Amino acid sequence: MQFAKKAIGGWPCPRCQKGTLVAGAENEVRITTVESENLYEQVGDPEMLDMSIAVSLECSDSKCKEKAICLANGSPEDVNYWDEEVGDYMADFEVLYRPIYFYPCLRIFKIPEKVPELLQESILVSFQLFFCDPKSALGHLRIALEEMLNLLGVKKYIVKKNRRVRVSLHDRIDMLNAKYQQVKELCFAIKWHGNAGSHSDSQITRNDVLDAYEIFEVILEIIYDEKTRRANQLAKKINKQKGIRKKKPE
C-alpha cells in the first residue's frame, strides 16, 4: 500500500466502520533523516532521501468524528504526469509513502459483535502490528487462535504419568467440539501460518498476513455471527432430513 501526500486518507474508521479517515492538511509533521540528507548531498539523487510523515486523521462521519494518527515512511520516486500546457508527459519526483503505524489501529477485517472482549483484544494487537511488523502480526494472530480455543473450553493441559503436560496447538484444534468441525481445517491453516511467523528466517509479507486474516474472519463468522451460525444449523438440519419433510395435514 502506497500513497502520495495529496492522497492521504480514505481508510475505514476504526471506531464506527462507516466513515473514512480524512487528513487535515494543517496537522502534519514531516522529517528527513540526517543520514539520507548527507547521501543526497553527495549523490544528488532525491531517491536517497528517507522521509517520514505523521498525519492526524478524522472520521468523515459527523456522528462519529473519531481522531486517529498515521505514521508513514517513503522516499521520492520517478513519476510521469500529463502537462496540459506542453501537451506531453513530463517527468518529476513525488514522495510515495507506506503506512507504518495507525493509532487507533485500523480494523483490517470486521469482528462480529458477539466475539468476547479478550479475543477481540488479541486480534487488535495483530492489527496494530500489521503495517510495521507483518511477521509479529501473524504470530499474534496465532495467539488469538489459542485464546479462542480457551474461550471455547478446549483444554490447554492434560495429565500424563502424574505430570501436567501442555497440549500442542495442533492437538487442541483436533479436540474441538464436534459442532465446530467446520472450522478445524481453517484453524489448522492459521496454525501453519502462525508457525511461519515465529521462525526468524521466514520472509513474511503483508499479503501472507491478509490471507490469514481472511481465513480468521470466516472462523469468527462461523462461531460468533448469529446469521452465519443460524444458516449452518438450518443447512445441517436440511441435509440430515434430505430435504423438507412432509407435514401432517392440519
Q: Name, in order, each residue with C-beta under 8 angstroms of 185's C-beta and a sequence gap of 6 or more.
A: none
> According to the model, what pLDDT value does residue 215 have?
96
pTM of the model: 0.83
pLDDT of residue 145: 97
pLDDT of amino acid 146: 96
Has residue 147 got a pLDDT over 90? yes
Q: Which ranges of the chain does DSSP label H, i.e. alpha helix?
A: 34-43, 117-129, 134-151, 169-174, 184-197, 206-224, 226-241
pLDDT at 216: 97
- The three grid cell numbers given for residue 109, joined into one nine-digit string: 477485517
Q: What is the pLDDT of residues 199-232, one digit of tens each?
A: 666 788 999 999 999 999 999 999 998 777 667 6
pLDDT at 152 over 90: yes
Given pLDDT bands bounded at 50, 70 and 90, which one contains residue 118? Answer: very high
C-alpha cell at position 140? 499474534
Whether 174 shows a pLDDT value over 80: the answer reads yes
